[in-house]
Amino acid sequence: MQILLAIMMAMYVLSTAPRAAVSAERVTEVLNTDSETVLPGNGAGGLVRPARPEGLRFENVVFAYPGAETPVLDSITFHAAPGTTTAVIGSTGSGKSTIVSLVPRLLEVSSGSISLDGRDIAGVPLGALREQLGVVPQESWLFRGTIAENLRISLPSATDSQLWHALETAQAADFVNELPQGLETMLSQGGAGLSGGQRQRLCIARAILRPASVYLFDDSFSALDTVTEAKLRAALEPELRGATIIIVAQRVNTVVSADQILLIDEGRLVARGTHDELLGSSETYREIVASQLETEEAA
Q: Are domains 50-132+213-226+240-299 and 140-211 of this chain identical in fold? A: yes
The answer on pLDDT for 215 being more than 70 is yes
* Model confidence pLDDT, tens digit, residues 24-63: 999 999 999 877 655 555 444 455 566 677 889 999 999 9
* Percent of the residues in the chain that have a pLDDT greater than 90, as a whole number: 48
Q: Nearest-CA neighbor of 37 among 125, 118, 130?
A: 125
Per-residue pLDDT, averaged over 162-184, amounts to 90
Task: Give me the CATH topology for the region 140-211.
Answer: Rossmann fold (3.40.50)
Per-residue pLDDT, averaged over 252-259, amounts to 87
Whole-number pLDDT of residue 299: 43
Kindly list the domain boundaries of the chain, sorted by start residue: 50-132+213-226+240-299, 140-211
Handedness of CA 33, 137, 219, 181 (dihedral sign): positive
DSSP state of 49: P
Per-residue pLDDT, averaged over 218-238, amounts to 87
Question: Which residues, 6+ apart, have CB-to-CB distance to 16 below 8 Å?
Answer: none
* Model confidence pLDDT, tens digit, residues 82-133: 999 999 998 888 889 999 999 999 888 999 999 998 889 988 888 888 889 9
Whole-number pLDDT of residue 298: 43
Residue 201 burial (CB count, 10 A)? 29
* Model confidence pLDDT, tens digit, residues 262-283: 999 889 999 999 999 999 888 8
Prediction pTM value:
0.80
Task: Give me the CATH topology for the region 50-132+213-226+240-299.
Answer: Rossmann fold (3.40.50)
